[in-house]
Amino acid sequence: MAVPVAAAQKIQLSVDVSKAGAKIDRNLFGQFAEHLGHGVYEGIWVGPDSKIPNTRGIRNDVVAALKALKVPDVRWPGGCFADEYHWRKGIGQQRTVTLNPNWGGVIEPNTFGTHEFMDFLDQIGAEAYLSVNVGSGTPQEAAEWLEYLTTVQPTTLAKERAANGHPAPYKVAFLGIGNESWDCGGNMTPDYYLSQLKTYSRFVRNFNPAQQNNQQMLKIAVGPGGGDSRWTEWTEAIMKAYQSHTWSWDMNGLSLHSYTVVKWPPSYASVGFGEAEYAQILKSTLEMNDLIAKHSAIMDKYDPQKKVALVVDEWGGWYAPLPGSNPGFLAQQNSLRDAVLAALNLNIFARHADRVRMANIAQMINVLQAMILTDKEKMVLTPTYYVYKMYVPFQDATFVPATFDAGTFTHDGITLPRIDAIAAKDKAGKLWLAITNVDPNQSAEIEVTLAGMNAKSAAGETLSASKVDSVNTFDAPNTVVPKPFSAKAQDGKLTLKLEPKSVTAIAVEQ
Ligand code: AHR
């Protein structure tokens, strides 16, 4: 039974507009597209001969949907896949057909390779986050990939790139050096990984003339995958080495992987669940805050100036595979619960924006907590997609501290905060609020006091639905879609009435 605790009480939310926090880096809204299930093949790539409308093989409907999210960067080609990926198999007229042993053992045709990925990024307007193969590759292979991609001088590799259709060098904004090297990426000890990191960091160079000074490619080291001692020791080891690093190697980010799963193997249903599972999953997702705080504290010890970003480049809800799907394809539905989960995590990242400057939800299309689901020519946008759309104004906005007493509600012995909220000023100076009403049954009345501004009204969108497991399907794509939301201010204060289990983003007008 849900027990409403003081649900009738108004929640006071205070925002002091004169105070500014860290920049909420746009890269916190990054995506992850691995060669896994129908994430790349069918989700992005249908091939130029497909009847599905496409541009050079890349689905037009998916591109249009992603453009609206202003996706800052896409991590590719994995995940575990990256540590078995050999880039030369994915360039040129003749592609080598291989296997994808991590994800169902299916055929990997390599038809979506380097040029197709860069074309996809160009079409959606995002930057490249390449994950290079440390597990089964060599520094030389990775170095040659970067030379192929970025050299302007007429080296043999640059000429090969030009012959394959791209004379100009590509921009590679981010370089991931390995993936989960403590596990699927080669089961390395911290010391062994460190020696790899130093070598790759030194020799995998970006030659693009436009990326030599303040546009330099940022190098991201493998970081922890949880909060227990195995992971804190990993963070300690990498950051300690970073503290005494010499001119010959560097790193700009440390990755963190954390899925909301409650327990492995993933067993929670992604649809057809009730409020108990809603509460359990959300309680588990809120652990992200302490996990970030724990690793940030270690990083602060060795890097008090916060030069190294914590990059949460795999996160999201990971549930049981959909009945009848290939379990290696990690196919799941995406419900209103995922919308709330996404908002809670984005808010956590924003609160830690001084250290967390990049995050990539897993994964973009048809895999895990996806933005988009496709089935042949059909496409549907998920509740998570809409949260990302509503949060676009928060990209590169300045965090503004908001204080509130969230209150609590309890369901089946699980106590959660009733609401969560963040505030930020966008680049034009406009104040935005994002408020989540976590309670699945009670609406929340919130009185917003805005020091330093004479608020007149607020307008934006709200996302909710009738059930915690409401989903969008190909037949009913508009079950969970945002609706307009507005409020008038009285005496400079806004009173907002938020639906149960809802995410709301509004701009304040003065
Ligand atoms: O996102 C699915 C997998 O989860 C990734 O390939 C791996 O890095 C992680 O374990």
**pLDDT 10s digits, 240-287:** 999 999 999 999 999 999 999 999 999 999 999 999 999 999 999 999
pLDDT above 80 for 223: yes
Please name which of 401, 394, 389, 406 lies closest in space to residue 461, comparing C-alpha atoms. Answer: 389
Atom 5 of ligand 1 has which residue's CA nearest to it? Answer: 79
Confidence of residue 5 (pLDDT cuts 50, 70, 90): very low
361 within ligand 1 shell (Cβ under 6 A): no
Atom 4 of ligand 1 has which residue's CA nearest to it? Answer: 79
pLDDT above 70 for 388: yes
Confidence of residue 2 (pLDDT cuts 50, 70, 90): very low
**Residue 80 CA, ligand 1 centroid: distance in Å:** 6
252 within ligand 1 shell (Cβ under 6 A): no
**Residue 79 CA, ligand 1 centroid: distance in Å:** 5
Computed over every residue of the chain, the mean pLDDT equals: 96
Q: Phi and psi at residue 189, in whole multiples of 5°?
A: -80, 160
499 within ligand 1 shell (Cβ under 6 A): no
Atom 6 of ligand 1 has which residue's CA nearest to it? Answer: 79
**Residue 281 CA, ligand 1 centroid: distance in Å:** 19
Which residue among 31, 34, 187 is best mutated to probe the pocket of ligand 1, counting the most ligand atoms within 8 A of its Cβ? 34
83 within ligand 1 shell (Cβ under 6 A): no
Please name which of 174, 156, 301 lies closest in space to residue 243, comparing C-alpha atoms. Answer: 301
Both tokens of 423, joined, read: 């505030």
Which residue among 180, 318, 361 is best mutated to probe the pocket of ligand 1, counting the most ligand atoms within 8 A of its Cβ? 180
pLDDT at site 7: 56
179 within ligand 1 shell (Cβ under 6 A): yes
39 within ligand 1 shell (Cβ under 6 A): no
pLDDT at site 1: 36
Q: Which atom from ligand 1 is nearest to the alpha carbon of 180?
A: 8
CA–CA dist 399, 419 (Å, integer): 18
pLDDT above 90 for 8: no
Atom 9 of ligand 1 has which residue's CA nearest to it? Answer: 79
460 within ligand 1 shell (Cβ under 6 A): no
Cα–Cα–Cα angle for 387, 46, 269, rounded to 5 degrees: 45
Beta carbons of 90 and 45 less than 8 angstroms apart? no
**All residues at 6 or more sequence positions from 52 whose CB lies less than 8 Å from its CB, including other chains:** 46, 59, 61, 376, 377
pLDDT at site 6: 52
Kindly give the pairing relationship between strand 444-451 and strand 483-490.
Answer: unpaired
Atom 8 of ligand 1 has which residue's CA nearest to it? Answer: 79
Give catalytic residue positions. Answer: 180, 314
131 within ligand 1 shell (Cβ under 6 A): no
pLDDT at site 214: 80
Beta carbons of 33 and 364 less than 8 angstroms apart? yes
Letter for the amino acid at 424? A
